[in-house]
Chains A and B, each alone.
Chain A
Amino acid sequence: MSATGRILKEFASLPERRPLRLLGASGQLGYGIPTPAFNAGLERQPDLIGCDMGSIDIGPYYLGSGNMATARESTKRDLRKVLLAARKYDIPLVIGSAGSAGAAPHLEQTLALVREIAREQQLKFRLAFIPGDIPKDLISEAVRAKGVVGIDGMPDLTQEEVEASAQIVGQMGMTSFRQAFEADIDVLIAGRACDTAIFSTLPVMLGFHIGLSVHMAKIIECASLCCVPGGRDSILATLDDEGFTLESMAPQRRATTISVSAHSLYEQNDPFVIIEPEGRAELHHARYEQIDERRTRISGATWVPAPRHTIKIEGARRVGERAVLFCGAADPRFIEQREEILRDVSKVVRDLVCEDAEEDYSLFWRVYGVNGVSDQLANAPLPGEVFLLIECIAPTTDRASEVVRTMKQYLLHFGYEGRLSTGGNIAFPFTPPEISVGTAYKFNIYHIMETDRLGELFPVTVENI
């Protein structure tokens, strides 16, 4: 019998539910799982190990390109650590949003690593995987039926955008994870998924309160980030019918009422609601009680089923090839006139590179020291030095490179008003100061899609390893 089958059977035979222990091993699998806290967590005999592996925060490149954000070796090390532990203790291992963005290429790369580790370590287990991709025709159909709504002002989705997407994923939830758990498995690797489903599905299947399970899951998917000081060490949640207790597996990290309740603010625009495909957990009546210096107990979350199921869909499309130029300046006259200079030089460049071609590129500059990160505040003093990042996105690598190289030369020698420094306007940290950095993508889908086929959207595959 598999690890999920065993725990489902155990709970079915219990006269009364016992508390469930869930180990949040990592909020970003692939960036390192500190071993001491992870091992301390294993000593507490958890019933499940869960890891989140992805996020939309990392930007559109990874989803669009199919590449992982984490390095292969560090990803393999983390996967090896959690696989070995889960198999040693014969408990379910659940990984969500495989390979950073959770689309087919990310899931494939993650599965390839899992199979490689299993071979090297001679592990045998039942593996389930669930692709997170949503077929384009299904989205087009939903668009036509007016069942797709942009999130936070995203424009209405068009058929053209659907077609242009390099990858489209949907955040699967508990419904899909449950289908995998019911298939008697040891390890579940999901494509793009709600981070909560990793930890909430099993308890909900065992009869624990949905609101509590989702609230707990939302906190422990970030490992010990909810503690003071926050960190990436593993965290243990102990769930019962009335609430759950959190304890970081790193002794220096304390889960306090303030630190845990504050975690509901993190990356959320409403700290009182956690929206899932099947409904939402509401935290208006959540209670946080300090048990001792390092542990907090949480209760009071409620669950409101959704009248209609929805999933969050994410897509990225290619916008072109990107080349950048790195340079700096220390001449106060240049710094003062930077905007006019850059504008004027960009016109010179355009006239040159468009002599026999269309203006088929976009040029951006960021002047670090002034407004490279955010808009300049009124009356902010000018710095002694600035760094300039000049970026071109064009249809081809060659075209983008041509534009930034031309920009470099004319910016270097541009004769602006009052110039004293006729040797050159900019400093290069090294040469070549221009680099081609590959394909640029943008998010073109960040929408909510209604569905009455939640149970069919994300089919489960089981493989005996």
Chain B
Amino acid sequence: MYLQDIAQVIRSKNAGPRCTTLDIMFNSDADYQKVVQSRVISAALIAELYAIVLADVKIIEYPIARALKIAIPRKVTAGDPGDRDVYGAQQHARLLKLQI
């Protein structure tokens, strides 16, 4: 099963101009637990997917909203010359087809 088949929300957005956050939210506690317990969404995987250093990946479990929060550094500060996504709103796409 792909992550996009089980998650209710998969989104990205800046948290300030130096950080991209990725939120994955679920419809039910069961779906949330299934993904958390699968341990698929790990710092190692995110580091590989986004080509960043493992130590820079922060993953927060937020069961109250059935959500996983991932924070990663931006390679280019928002709006700097050469930036491709000023708001960071389209960096989630590569999470959609993660195999759960």
Binding site for B on A (CB under 8 A): 56-61, 151-154, 257-258, 261-262, 264-272, 286, 288, 319, 362, 364, 366, 371-375, 377, 391, 393, 440-443, 446
Whether the Cβ atoms of A261 and B51 lie closer than 8 Å is no
Residues of A within 8 A of B78 (CB): 56-57, 59-60, 443
Whether the Cβ atoms of A269 and B90 lie closer than 8 Å is no
Overall SS of chain A's interface: loop
B16 touches which of A151, A364, A371, A442 (Cβ 8 Å):
A151
| Cα distance A58–B89 in the bound complex, in angstroms | 12
B6-40 interface (Cβ within 8 A of A): 13-19, 21, 23, 25
Whether the Cβ atoms of B77 and A258 lie closer than 8 Å is no
Minimal Cβ-Cβ distance residue in A for B87 = A57
Whether the Cβ atoms of B66 and A258 lie closer than 8 Å is yes
Residues of B within 8 A of A261 (CB): 62, 64-65
| Cα distance A261–B23 in the bound complex, in angstroms | 13
| Cα distance A267–B69 in the bound complex, in angstroms | 11
Minimal Cβ-Cβ distance residue in B for A393 = B81
Evaluate whether A362 and B81 lie within 8 angstroms (CB atoms) in the complex, with A152-B16, A265-B23 already known: yes
Residues of A within 8 A of B80 (CB): 60, 442-443
A271 touches which of B62, B66, B94 (Cβ 8 Å):
B62
In angstroms, how far is the closest chain B Cβ from the Cβ of A377?
Answer: 6
Minimal Cβ-Cβ distance residue in B for A268 = B15
Residues of B within 8 A of A59 (CB): 17, 78-79, 86
Whether the Cβ atoms of B16 and A446 lie closer than 8 Å is yes
Residues of A within 8 A of B86 (CB): 57-59
Whether the Cβ atoms of A443 and B77 lie closer than 8 Å is yes
Whether the Cβ atoms of A364 and B79 lie closer than 8 Å is no
| Cα distance A319–B65 in the bound complex, in angstroms | 42
In angstroms, how far is the closest chain B Cβ from the Cβ of A184?
Answer: 36
Identify 20 new A-B residue pairs, CB closer than 8 A, beyond the known A261-B64, A267-B15, A374-B90.
A57-B14, A61-B79, A152-B73, A153-B73, A261-B62, A262-B25, A262-B65, A262-B67, A265-B21, A265-B62, A265-B69, A269-B15, A269-B21, A269-B58, A270-B60, A319-B81, A364-B82, A374-B85, A442-B79, A443-B77
| Cα distance A182–B79 in the bound complex, in angstroms | 38
Whether the Cβ atoms of A269 and B19 lie closer than 8 Å is yes
Residues of A within 8 A of B45 (CB): none
| Cα distance A105–B67 in the bound complex, in angstroms | 40
Whether the Cβ atoms of A441 and B79 lie closer than 8 Å is yes
| Cα distance A364–B79 in the bound complex, in angstroms | 13
| Cα distance A264–B62 in the bound complex, in angstroms | 10
Whether the Cβ atoms of B15 and A56 lie closer than 8 Å is no
| Cα distance A252–B81 in the bound complex, in angstroms | 41
| Cα distance A391–B81 in the bound complex, in angstroms | 9
Evaluate whether A258 and B79 lie within 8 angstroms (CB atoms) in the complex, with A268-B15, A269-B19, A374-B94 already known: no
| Cα distance A362–B80 in the bound complex, in angstroms | 12
From B15, B69, B79, name the one whose CB has the most chain A CB atoms within 10 angstroms: B79
Minimal Cβ-Cβ distance residue in A for B62 = A271
Residues of A within 8 A of B16 (CB): 56, 151-152, 269, 446
Evaluate whether A373 and B84 lie within 8 angstroms (CB atoms) in the complex, with A151-B18, A265-B23 already known: yes
Whether the Cβ atoms of A446 and B18 lie closer than 8 Å is yes
In angstroms, how far is the closest chain B Cβ from the Cβ of A374?
Answer: 6
Evaluate whether A440 and B81 lie within 8 angstroms (CB atoms) in the complex, with A269-B19, A373-B90 already known: yes
B79 touches which of A60, A154, A269, A375 (Cβ 8 Å):
A60
Q: Is B42 interfacial (CB-CB < 8 Å)?
A: no
Whether the Cβ atoms of B79 and A152 lie closer than 8 Å is no
In angstroms, how far is the closest chain A Cβ from the Cβ of B67?
Answer: 6
Residues of B within 8 A of A258 (CB): 65-66
A–B complex contacts, Cβ < 8 Å, 29 sampled: A56-B16, A57-B13, A57-B78, A57-B86, A59-B17, A59-B79, A59-B86, A60-B80, A151-B16, A151-B18, A152-B18, A152-B19, A152-B73, A154-B18, A258-B66, A261-B62, A261-B64, A262-B65, A264-B62, A265-B23, A266-B23, A267-B14, A269-B15, A288-B64, A319-B81, A364-B82, A373-B84, A441-B79, A446-B18
| Cα distance A151–B91 in the bound complex, in angstroms | 21
Residues of B within 8 A of A58 (CB): 86
| Cα distance A446–B93 in the bound complex, in angstroms | 27
| Cα distance A270–B81 in the bound complex, in angstroms | 28
Residues of B within 8 A of A265 (CB): 21, 23, 25, 62, 65, 67, 69
Residues of B within 8 A of A152 (CB): 16, 18-19, 73
| Cα distance A339–B25 in the bound complex, in angstroms | 37
In angstroms, how far is the closest chain A Cβ from the Cβ of B14?
Answer: 6
Q: Is B71 interfacial (CB-CB < 8 Å)?
A: yes
Minimal Cβ-Cβ distance residue in A for B77 = A443
In angstroms, how far is the closest chain B Cβ from the Cβ of A296?
Answer: 12
| Cα distance A375–B91 in the bound complex, in angstroms | 9
Residues of A within 8 A of B69 (CB): 265, 269, 271
Residues of B within 8 A of A446 (CB): 16-18, 77
Residues of A within 8 A of B58 (CB): 269
Q: 6 closest A-B pairs (Cβ-Cβ)?
A: A152-B18, A59-B79, A262-B65, A269-B71, A269-B15, A261-B65
